[in-house]
């Protein structure tokens, strides 16, 4: 079998690396292209039009690099642009949304908490997700301002980060939520702090692994995934290359990861 075309993955920034790590471990033979649009993050406060324009530009760039499938590793971009991208491009496009369905199945008290960006929580797609899957379960939501910026800086620990995490998790617990959903791909990098506030009785769910499994299914339908003994690898681009971005990539991915300038 000759080398296969790569898989393109994008996010508003470095948060999508929490999805990329699941893709890496499930599909070790694939070459993965990752675009971090950190120069325009956070998307959570941007208009739907802006997010759609950036998502189109990122998808176009990944196609130019030869991607045979695209993963939107961003809940906010999915909410605003997944439909548009699927209308525009025929290749497999895997998108993501907060794990409301498994959280509804897991709650004992009938109350779940969803942590996500303002853009995701205010979207029509999120409203439809609740209509379709929340049923009788009460859904509390929390827009976690400041969390994305911490992850973009690679600032994952210390008292200030712990306090910022507690500020957004505590209201959900006070409201009675007994399951928490991480509805933004940056948030799994703060998981240990979220779990420390929530305590052992409150499961914390994210969708990175489910997205990787969905990608595997879509690749299988579209001609097959690269065998595990293929030499997989990663290429990273960022729209905000700086020393901070390099250090953050080293902290969130690997010391030796190199990042290129995203020319869009």
Residue ranges in contact with ligand DGL by CB under 6 A = 11-13, 15, 41-44, 74-76, 117, 120, 148, 184-186
Q: Which is closer to ligand DGL, CB of 179 or CB of 181?
A: 181
**Residue 74: active-site member:** yes
Q: Which is closer to ligand DGL, CB of 68 or CB of 101?
A: 101
Q: Which is closer to ligand DGL, CB of 75 or CB of 238?
A: 75
Question: Rounded to the nearest whole angstrom, what is the least distance from the CB of residue 208 to ligand DGL in the complex?
Answer: 10
CA gap 178, 187 in Å, rounded: 18
Q: Quote the strand ranges of 95-171, DSSP E.
A: 111-116, 138-143
Tell me if 114 sits within 8 A of 144, measured CB to CB: no
Question: Rounded to the nearest whole angstrom, what is the least distance from the CB of residue 192 to ligand DGL in the complex?
Answer: 18
Cis peptide before 185 (omega within 30 of 0): no
CA angle, residues 254, 26, 215, in degrees to nearest 5: 110
What six digits make up the tokens of 62?
């990944």
CA gap 136, 97 in Å, rounded: 20
Q: Which is closer to ligand DGL, CB of 225 or CB of 245?
A: 245
Tell me if 250 sits within 8 A of 12, measured CB to CB: no
Catalytic residue among 35, 144, 150, 184: 184
Q: Which is closer to ligand DGL, CB of 73 or CB of 197?
A: 73
Question: Rounded to the nearest whole angstrom, what is the least distance from the CB of residue 98 to ligand DGL in the complex?
Answer: 9
Q: Which is closer to ligand DGL, CB of 145 or CB of 235?
A: 145
**Tokens 């940056």 map to which residue?**
186
Question: Rounded to the nearest whole angstrom, what is the least distance from the CB of residue 119 to ligand DGL in the complex?
Answer: 7
SS3 content of the chain, % helix, strand, coil (to 5): 50, 15, 35
Going from the C-alpha of 64 to that of each of 6, 134, 237, 263, the distances in angstroms are 11, 40, 14, 12
**Tokens 């929530």 map to which residue?**
198
> Do strands 7-11 and 69-72 pair parallel, antiparallel, or not at all (unpaired)?
parallel
**Residue 35: active-site member:** no
Question: Rounded to the nearest whole angstrom, what is the least distance from the CB of residue 35 to ligand DGL in the complex?
Answer: 13
**Tokens 């790569």 map to which residue?**
6
Catalytic residue among 35, 74, 144, 150: 74
Question: Rounded to the nearest whole angstrom, what is the least distance from the CB of residue 92 to ligand DGL in the complex?
Answer: 20
Active-site annotation, residues: 74, 184
């Amino acid at each position: 079998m000759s080398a296969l075309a790569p898989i393109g993955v994008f996010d508003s920034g470095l948060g999508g690396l929490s999805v990329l790590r699941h893709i890496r471990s499930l599909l070790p033979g694939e070459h993965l292209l990752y675009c971090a649009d950190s120069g325009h993050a956070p998307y959570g406060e941007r208009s739907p039009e802006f997010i759609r324009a950036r998502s189109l530009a990122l998808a176009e760039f990944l196609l130019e690099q030869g991607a045979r499938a695209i993963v939107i590793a961003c809940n906010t971009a999915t909410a605003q642009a997944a439909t548009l991208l699927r209308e525009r491009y025929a290749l497999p496009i895997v998108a993501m949304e907060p794990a409301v369905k498994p959280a509804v199945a897991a709650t004992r008290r009938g109350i779940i908490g969803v942590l996500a960006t303002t853009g995701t929580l205010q979207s029509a797609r999120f409203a439809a997700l609740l209509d379709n899957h929340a049923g009788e379960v009460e859904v509390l939501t929390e827009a976690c301002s400041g969390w994305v910026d911490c992850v973009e800086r690679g600032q994952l620990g210390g008292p200030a980060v712990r306090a910022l995490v507690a500020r957004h998790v505590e209201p959900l617990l006070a409201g009675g939520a007994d399951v928490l959903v991480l509805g933004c791909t940056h948030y799994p990098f703060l998981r240990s702090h979220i779990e420390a506030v929530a305590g052992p009785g409150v499961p914390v769910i994210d969708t990175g692994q489910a997205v990787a499994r969905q990608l595997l299914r879509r690749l299988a339908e579209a001609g097959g995934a690269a065998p595990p003994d293929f030499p997989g690898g990663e290429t990273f681009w960022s729209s905000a290359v700086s020393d901070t971005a390099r250090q953050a990539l080293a902290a969130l991915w690997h010391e030796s990861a190199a990042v290129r300038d995203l020319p869009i």
